[in-house]
Chains A and B, each alone.
Chain A
Amino acid sequence: MDVYLPIANLSVNGLVIVGLGMLTGLLSGMFGVGGGFLTTPLMIFYGIPPTVAAASAASQVTGASVSGAFAHSRRGGVDFQMGGVLVAGGILGTGIGALLFNLLERLGQIDTVINILYVVLLGSIGALMARESIQTLRAERSGMPLPARKRRHHPLVANLPMRWRFYRSGLYISPLAPLLLGMATGILTMLMGIGGGFVLVPAMLYILGMSANVVVGTSLFQILFVTMATTMMHAMTTKAVDIVLASLLLVGSVTGAQIGAQFAQKASPVKLRLLLAVVVLLVAGRMAIGLGFRPDDIYTVAPL
Chain B
Amino acid sequence: MRAALALLLLLLLGAARDPILVPEVSQHEVLLRQGFTGTELLLFGAVLSPEGTRAAQDYDIIVVLKGPTQSIVVREKQKVAGIWINVDSAELRSAPSYYAIASTRPIAQIVDDKTAAIYELGLKWLQLSPIGSIDAAEQSRFAAGLVSLQTGNGLYRQEEGAVKVSEQVLYQARIGLPSRVPIGSYTAETFAISKGRVVASASSTVEVRKIGVERAIASFADQYGVFYGLLAVVISVGMGWIAGRLFALV
Point out residues on A near B: beta carbons under 8 Å: 2-4, 6-7, 9-11, 59-60, 62-67, 70-71, 108-109, 111-112, 116, 228, 231-237, 239, 241, 243-244, 246-247, 250-251, 254-255, 257-258, 262, 291-304
Contact = CB atoms under 8 A, between A and B. Distances in A.
What does DSSP make chain A's interface, helix, strand, loop or mixed? Answer: helix
B10 interface: no
Contact of B217 (A7, A64, A291): A7
B228 interface: yes
A63 B229 contact: no
Given A3-B34, A241-B229, A294 B75 contact: no
What 7 pairs between A and B have smallest CB-CB spacing? Answer: A235-B229, A67-B244, A66-B240, A299-B145, A254-B243, A63-B240, A11-B179
Interface of B: 32-38, 70-79, 82-86, 89, 91, 95, 142, 145-146, 148-150, 152, 179-180, 182, 210, 213-215, 217-218, 221-222, 225-226, 228-233, 235-237, 239-244, 246-247
25 contacts: A2-B35, A6-B215, A6-B221, A9-B182, A62-B240, A63-B236, A63-B240, A66-B236, A66-B237, A116-B83, A231-B232, A235-B228, A237-B225, A241-B232, A243-B228, A247-B235, A255-B243, A262-B247, A292-B83, A295-B84, A299-B142, A300-B75, A300-B149, A301-B72, A304-B70
Given A4-B32, A236-B226, A299-B149, A9 B180 contact: yes
A66 B244 contact: yes
Nearest to A7: B221
A304 B239 CA distance: 37
Contacts of B233: 59, 62, 228, 231-232
B37 A236 contact: no
Contacts of B222: 239
Nearest to B93: A304
Contact of B236 (A10, A59, A296, A303): A59
A112 B89 CA distance: 15
A292 B82 contact: yes
B139 to A, nearest CB: 14
